[in-house]
Amino acid sequence: MTPATLDATVLEDLVSAAVAAPSMHNTQPWRFRLRPETHTLEIRAALDRELRAEDPDARGLHLSVGAAAFNLRLAVAHHGWEPVLRLLPDPHEPLLLASVRLAGRRPSPTSAAATAVDGLYDQIWRRHTSRSPFSPRPLPGPLWAELLDAALVEGARLHLPDPDETHRLLALTYEAEARTIADQERREESRRWIRSPADSDLGIPPEALGPHDAEGHLPMRDFSALHPPSSQPAQPFERHPQLAVLATDHDRPADWLRAGLALQHVLLLATRDQVRASLLHQAVEWPDLRWMLRDPRSGPEHVQILIRLGYGPEGAPTPRRAATAALA
């Protein structure tokens, strides 16, 4: 099959893989368009799904689109083409955030590289955010090393904070959580995205929300801001959470997209090894707290998100819009 014969079924497969990516509040803030003349799939920001109160600069939106672009690039490779990813390919069109060109057949589908692609591709469908307590079992060193490399390959950096630094990051996240709950606009915005799958294929189903931490170590996001109160009784979470800090050297839209690519690369590698993840983004949403999240020892970087990793139950699936609905 050559790009010229990209048929509707393959196109649907590619976009389905892209939309399986994580997005802030499961807003799925993307639209896809095929340019048949150049064999290119374009991803634009869907501004009708912006989070104006919690993500006013659309930084989280760019992370989400970066994660979708990672999946799209992987799916294109899985289907046997060489993917050429460009970020912000047209300076005159700022909503066009990324494009992936299908640049011809990949050389050998039986090579080790192709096996690695297929192994990661399969994780796209298995990955879910898991907001449950994790066990105390540490992640193995070689996996941490692989996650650090994956972030670097995508143009970002992953740091593993020591216990004192982890404590400090969680305290900042607690502060952010308290502020968000006290802020009517933000509280109402996040509540609006808690939706039953029977009503909407966007947003987070109540079943995918986890319990609160009975011992107060882990500031999990309280999406419903206690209204209605969480239906799940509080549970003790792991005493020593294993966090990774995803950061970039600069803080422009292209860096946010790169952070999204890195986030998804890390999450899929973790999923491959049965490691679950949840995200702690609250402190990044308050400029002063975001500034304090940076560790001066790792240089003048910009923190994009905190990733909590560990062993525990698989998260509940969240709905997605059909690929056909995401294609403009």
Ligand X SMILES: Cc1cc2nc3c(=O)[nH]c(=O)nc-3n(C[C@H](O)[C@H](O)[C@H](O)COP(=O)(O)O)c2cc1C
Where do contacts with ligand X occur on this chain (CB under 6 A)? Answer: 22-26, 60, 63-64, 67, 128-129, 131, 204, 221, 278-282, 305, 315, 318
**C-alpha–C-alpha distance, residues 5 and 10, integer Å:** 10
Q: To the nearest whole angstrom, how small is the minimum distance from the Cβ of residue 278 to ligand X?
A: 5
Q: To the nearest whole angstrom, how small is the minimum distance from the Cβ of residue 8 to ligand X?
A: 25
Angle at 193 between CA 191 and CA 197, to 5 degrees: 125
Q: To the nearest whole angstrom, how small is the minimum distance from the Cβ of residue 5 to ligand X?
A: 31
For 191, the enclosing helix (H) or strand (E) is helix 184-192
Q: Which is nearer to ligand X, 25 or 106 (CB)?
A: 25
Q: To the nearest whole angstrom, how small is the minimum distance from the Cβ of residue 2 to ligand X?
A: 33
Q: To the nearest whole angstrom, how small is the minimum distance from the Cβ of residue 240 to ligand X?
A: 19
Answer yes or no: are the C-beta atoms of 254 and 87 closer than 8 Å: yes
With CB atoms as reference, the residue minimizing the distance to ligand X is 22
Residue type (1 letter), 300: P
Q: Which is nearer to ligand X, 63 or 261 (CB)?
A: 63
Q: Which is nearer to ligand X, 20 or 102 (CB)?
A: 20
As a 3-state breakdown, the chain gives helix, strand, coil percent values, each rounded to 5, of: 40, 20, 40
Q: Which is nearer to ligand X, 40 or 173 (CB)?
A: 173
Q: To the nearest whole angstrom, how small is the minimum distance from the Cβ of residue 115 to ligand X?
A: 25
Residue type (1 letter), 234: A
Answer yes or no: are the C-beta atoms of 156 and 262 closer than 8 Å: yes
Angle at 145 between CA 297 and CA 220, to 5 degrees: 70
178 token code pair: 């308290």
Q: Which is nearer to ligand X, 305 or 326 (CB)?
A: 305
Residue of 49, 54, 53 whose CA lies nearest to 95: 49
DSSP character at residue 227:
S
Q: Which is nearer to ligand X, 83 or 205 (CB)?
A: 205
